[in-house]
Amino acid sequence: MQRYYIGIMSGTSADGADLALVAFDEAKKGCEKIQLIGHVFHPYTDTFHSRVTSLYQPKGDNIDLMASLSVELAHFYHQAINALLERFRITREQIIAVGNHGQTIRHRPEKTNINAVPFTLQIGCNQTLACLSNLRVIGDFRTKDVALGGQGAPLVPAFHQFLFEERDNDTFIVNLGGIANITYLPSSKEKKVLGFDTGPANALLDAWCYKHSQQRHDKDGHWAASGNVIPELLTSLLADPYFAKPAPKSTGREYFTLDWLALHLNPEWLPNDIQATLAQLTATTIANEVNKLSPKSFVYLCGGGINNLHCYKLLKQQLKQHIVNNIHSLGLNNQAFEASAFAWLAYAYDKKIYNQIPDVTGASRQTILGIEFTP
């Protein structure tokens, strides 16, 4: 009987959950080691999206809402698992475990004041999900890394290293999610694998678009393409200390907000010109980091942002010395790619494979991340 792992990923864009049904073949090499059997995407309703994103910033006593949403998300994930199994005619007995990332609502990996301690918080109750689904759930992947002094993010570079274990060229995986992050896989074994958040991507673009159009995203980047970059605004945004900060580093939607953007705005600027500048900010901050690490490489783009054709074009313009493609060129499914990473994290937990890279997160030691929750 063929057996599988399920990975669940809810990104910082808070638009829904991707589920990947995955099998692993240790006898194969490279990207062939992972076999995607199926993928489903379950969108959040507008109301649910608003309730989740309302937790990104402190607002009075929102503990009740957080706790309630955590359990509601577990029910949402359970329904999505049922839909996945039904669509691909898989029985529960064939599922080894579910790797659940959860929904990040706060990510503070560094002290914000003298009394604060680093933490990261994902909701989507793993124990509730295990009991509802009658499946083993491996979750809470980030907390241990933070306890070891790490950022708790990004975690997917270990998965990327698994896929590209044998490589002859410098390789980058660039994820255009709510926040953009990169994985650097050097061709030389003497250089370190690195990964970090470069700054905002879809989070700010989507938020600004919604503010002015009530649309959750700028389809294909058409609105940004209709505007002109405002040099003064771009310079001001790039001056934020986060962009000059050395890795390891990670950030979230709670930092790059519309309030953060408002500090830099002139009321005379047109909304579409501001959108054009935000798209340029995403491309510039990514390209700056890639060019610093390697003069020439293979760059593979993934994440929801690759559907933003304007951002894709800007990135290719700023990475002219590199070979830029999206993840589909490797035979990998972009929509399922990050969910597949969390299926792998569950697989790595079971196989006792180190699934975290201290040079990426800044943790004091290499370890196996995740906690097992049983029905």
At 53-99, the pLDDT tens digits run 899 887 766 899 999 999 999 999 999 999 999 999 999 999 999 99
What is the secondary structure of 269-285 as a DSSP string? S-HHHHHHHHHHHHHHH
Q: Which two tokens stand for residue 190?
A: 């003497």
Give me the phi and psi of 179, to 5 degrees please.
-115, 140
Which segments of 64-94 are extended strands (E)? none
Give the pLDDT of residue 215.
Answer: 86
Q: Tell me how far apart the terminal alpha carbons of the chain are, to the nearest angstrom.
A: 22
Q: How many CB atoms lie within 10 A of CB 169?
A: 13
Q: Which two tokens stand for residue 271?
A: 């909304």
Q: Which two tokens stand for residue 213?
A: 């159009």
Gap between the Cα atoms of 202 and 179, Å rounded: 7
Q: Which two tokens stand for residue 134?
A: 């009658």
Each residue of 265-297: b (16+ CB within 10 Å) or e?
eeeeeeebbbbbbbbbbbbbbbbbbbbebbeeb
pLDDT along the chain (375 residues), means of 10: 95 90 87 92 93 85 91 98 97 98 91 78 97 98 96 95 91 94 94 96 93 89 97 98 95 90 97 98 98 96 93 96 94 94 98 96 97 98
Give me the long-range contacts of 64-72 (CB less than 8 A, separation at least 24): 66/105, 66/123, 69/123, 70/123, 70/124, 70/125, 70/128, 71/125, 71/128, 72/48
Which H helix or E strand runs over 68? helix 63-87
pTM of the prediction? 0.92
Give the pLDDT of residue 93.
Answer: 97
Q: Which two tokens stand for residue 322?
A: 């590199």
Give the pLDDT of residue 111.
Answer: 72
Which segments of the chain are extended strands (E)? 4-10, 16-24, 34-43, 95-108, 119-123, 137-139, 171-176, 179-185, 194-200, 298-302, 323-326, 371-373
Give the pLDDT of residue 114.
Answer: 63
Give the pLDDT of residue 290.
Answer: 98
Instruction: Count CA within 13 A, CB hemisphere, residue 202.
Output: 25
Q: Are 80 and 41 in contact (CB under 8 A)?
A: no
CA 135 distance to own-chain centroid:
24
What is the secondary structure of 253-313 as a DSSP string? TTTS-HHHHHTT--TTS-HHHHHHHHHHHHHHHHHHHHHHH-SS-EEEEESGGGG-HHHHH
